[in-house]
Structure formats: C-alpha cells, structure tokens
Amino acid sequence: MKKFIALSLTTICLLVSCKDSEKTTPKKEQNSYEDVIKTNKTEDLASENTHKIIVTEKISSGGYIYLKVKENEEEYWMSIPDRQIEIGATYYYDGGMVMKNFESKTLNRTFENVIFAEGIRDQINKVKQVENRNIQKGKLSVDNIEKAPNGIRIAELFENPEAYSNKEIIIKGEVVKVNNGIMQVNFVHLQDGSIGNGQYDITITTNDEFKIGEVVTIKGTVILNKDFGAGYVYDVLIEKAVKLL
C-alpha cells in the first residue's frame, strides 16, 4: 500500500475511536461547509487540495486535538492527532474526511461537522502524494507465512475480491506498516509472502494496536472500492479488524 497523506492519510482516515462514537449522514448536505473539503479559494497554495487555515480555538481530548479554524471567510472544526498548536497561527493541511453530527464522548459534545485530517503543518509545501493505496511497487519483502486455520492467503483475496466482498475473513501476516490515529482508526498493512494480481500488501482498519515486524492473525470484513474522500481510495480493504489470539 502507498503512504498516507492525505491525509499521509499522510488522510483525515485516529485512536479517539476507542473513546468517541461517530454518526454520519449522506454527503449531499447543501451548505458551504462541505465546499471546504472539496475546493480551495486561497491563492498560491501547493495544490488545489491544500488548505490554509488560522487556528482560533483548540480543545485537547483523548490523544486528539480539536481545532476551530478559519479558512478565508469560512469557520469550521477539525480534528488531528494531538500536537503543539498556537492560537492565531497559520497552518496548512491537504484534505480530510468530513464527519457530520459527530459525537465526542470524551468532550460530551456533538459537532455538527468535523474534518478529520492526518495532521497539519507549518509550511505550505505538500509532503505526500495522493495515490491509490492498493497499488504496490517494488519487491516483496516478507517470507512465506503459512495460512491461518480457516483463513485465506492475501493472494486469494486479491485474485477474487468479489467472492469475499462484505464477508468476514481471517488472514495471517506480518505487519509491515502502521499508521495510528487516522480518521479515528489505525491503518495497518500486512504481507504474507503471497502475491495476487500483482498485489501483496493488504490494508486493514482496526482499533487494536499492532507493531511493525510482528506476525499476527486478524479477522475482519472485506470492503471493496472504499473511498474515504480526499484521495483515500482502496480497491480492497479489511475493516473492523481484530487481532486473534
């Protein structure tokens, strides 16, 4: 899988999910707030997906920080992994995912709209490129790992993904990459030494904690063509994965 942005994902796709719950409504809400995530009126930015914001308020909660920001004439709330933030300072970020009617149990508060982003930066320059997360390049780096009992190999999933769509599967593999706290969940990449249709790295979303290099068995639901918004698109994704003993 490729790197996160956008958000590097470096996106948007956060450990607060262990403490907070979310409620979403269809994206067709007609208001200017949704345009914040889709368009950018500020000139001379790194790309059309780059947003320039000024922080006007901040609230720390459960490893996250909620920021009230101003972009041009629009004010809105966003959430990123906790870090040093200066009120009144200017920051930049590349996209994010809009959550509507988001309830934060740790704050005992419901936000009408919140943008979950991978993070914000002090400099305008963009650090990551948005790419499809399931296109793999380079050489396979993990030795062959035996299939888990009642499980399947990663190659089997990629060779016939439609057969597993919306079904719960078991996969055993080595953790090769971890991105914690992205859009309320942890994104983990697994390899088992098999290759299916040129792809050998499967991404899972989970609330469990994983360490790079450990060999794990997970169970989760296969989702196809998952689009988190802001360029976070997955041909094949395993959601709500749990680590099996």
The arithmetic mean of pLDDT across residues 134-151, rounded, is: 74
DSSP state of 163: G
pLDDT confidence bin for 132, thresholds 50/70/90: very low
Give yes or no for residue 37 having a pLDDT over 80.
no
Q: What is the pTM of this model?
A: 0.52
Count helices and strands in the chain by DSSP H and E runs: 2, 11
CB 194 within 8 A of CB 202: no
Q: Which is it for strands 202-206 and 109-116: parallel, antiparallel or unpaired?
A: unpaired
User: By mean pLDDT, which of 12-16, 93-97, 203-207 is the weakest?
Assistant: 12-16
User: Hey, do 15-116 and 154-244 end up sharing a CATH topology, with the first three levels equal?
Assistant: yes
**What per-residue confidence (pLDDT) applies to 139?**
52
**What per-residue confidence (pLDDT) applies to 53?**
96
pLDDT confidence bin for 27, thresholds 50/70/90: very low
154-244, CATH topology level: OB fold (Dihydrolipoamide Acetyltransferase, E2P) (2.40.50)
pLDDT confidence bin for 215, thresholds 50/70/90: very high
The correct answer on CATH 1.10.1760 for the domain covering 15-116 is no
The arithmetic mean of pLDDT across residues 180-205, rounded, is: 88
Measure Cα distances from 81 to 135, 171, 178 in Å. 27, 29, 15
Helix (H) / strand (E) element for 238: namely strand 233-244
User: By mean pLDDT, which of 10-19, 36-45, 115-124, 209-218 is the weakest?
Assistant: 10-19
CB 229 within 8 A of CB 183: no
Within 8 A by CB and 6+ apart from 195, the residues are 140, 154, 155, 158
pLDDT confidence bin for 47, thresholds 50/70/90: low
| Long-range pairs of 206-210 with CB within 8 A, sequence gap ≥ 24 | 206/240, 206/241, 206/242, 206/243, 207/15, 207/17, 207/18, 208/241, 208/242, 208/243, 209/180, 210/175, 210/178, 210/186, 210/243
% of residues, the chain, pLDDT over 70? 72
3-state secondary structure 4-56: CCCCCCCCCCCHHHHCCECCCCCCCCCCHHHHHHHCCCCCCCCCCCEEEEEEE
Domain boundaries, the chain: 15-116, 154-244
Q: Mean pLDDT across the chain, nearest whole number?
A: 78
pLDDT confidence bin for 116, thresholds 50/70/90: confident
